[in-house]
A and B are shown apart, each in its own frame.
Chain A
Amino acid sequence: QVQLVQSGAEVRKPGASVKVSCKASGNTFSGYYVHWVRQAPGQGLEWMGLINPNSGDTNYAQKFQGRVTMTRDTSISTAYMELTRLTSDDTAVYYCASLDDFDYWGQGTLVTVSS
């Protein structure tokens, strides 16, 4: 059984960057893409993009292109999502997830952007 374990909460100032990690335990990254989804306080789910852990290919939502970078390190079964030029609107819980029938989700990482 795969578990996705994310890094801890982060606090950043406006204009800064944040990098969130997502480590797969159990069966590593075999057979699924890693998607990143965020949820602002009291708001809905927002798809940010995905990375194919095998090839490293990415597909970003248009809204985040130029500001998000998704990478992976297969040697440690970890995916990363870096978001730059943060504003208060980026305050949210960030999830990594498989978004398929496996239904793997990380526990979420709260990123707070505040001066």
Chain B
Amino acid sequence: QSALTQPASVSGSPGQSITISCTGTSSDIGGYNYIAWYQQHPGKAPKLIISEVSNRPSGVSHRFSGSKSGNTASLTISDLQTEDEADYYCMSYTTTGTLFGTGTKVTVL
């Protein structure tokens, strides 16, 4: 598997909630509990917003939450804000190393 599968784009209006899925296999998402999510604004390095499936690092907004079911992980952004417009990547440990998702562009309408 070359990358975990994410939707190319998701959009929502300010105040709404959106969910980004990240689908893998039993060799990655399904087999490990280290699933992370990164937010990347244009021209910047990625920033960790969720680790270990659902843990929010210190300083990350409570509007971000993560979950996992089987071979699919999900990131939910609640109360969508304009500053949430960015690219989002999931990441999972695998049997051979680490794998990123294909990336999702979030647009705030």
Interface string of A10-29 (1 = CB under 8 A from B): 00000000000000000000
The yes or no answer to A49 lying at the interface (CB within 8 A) is yes
In the bound complex, residues from chain A placing their C-beta under 8 Å from that of B99 are: 47
By a CB distance below 8 angstroms, the chain B residues around A44 are: 3, 87, 89, 100-103
Is A80 part of the binding interface, using a Cβ–Cβ cutoff of 8 Å?
A: no
Chain A residues with Cβ under 8 A from B96's Cβ? 59, 61-62
**Interface residue? A107 (CB, 8 A):** yes
B7 to chain A, nearest CB (A): 13
Residues of B within 8 A of A61 (CB): 96-97
User: Number of contact residues on A: which range applies?
Assistant: 20 to 34
CB distance from B107 to the nearest CB of A (A): 16
- The answer to whether B97 and A59 have CB atoms under 8 Å apart is yes
Confirm or deny: B47 has a beta carbon within 8 angstroms of a beta carbon on chain A. yes
Residue B38 CB within 8 A of the other chain: yes
- B2, B55, B89, B97: the one contacting A45 at CB < 8 Å is B89
Return chain A residues, CB-CB under 8 Å to B2. 63
Q: 5 shortest A-B CB distances, which residue pairs?
A: A103-B48, A44-B103, A105-B45, A45-B100, A47-B98
Chain B interface (Cβ < 8 Å from any Cβ of A): 2-3, 36, 38, 40, 45-48, 51, 55, 57, 87, 89, 91, 96-103
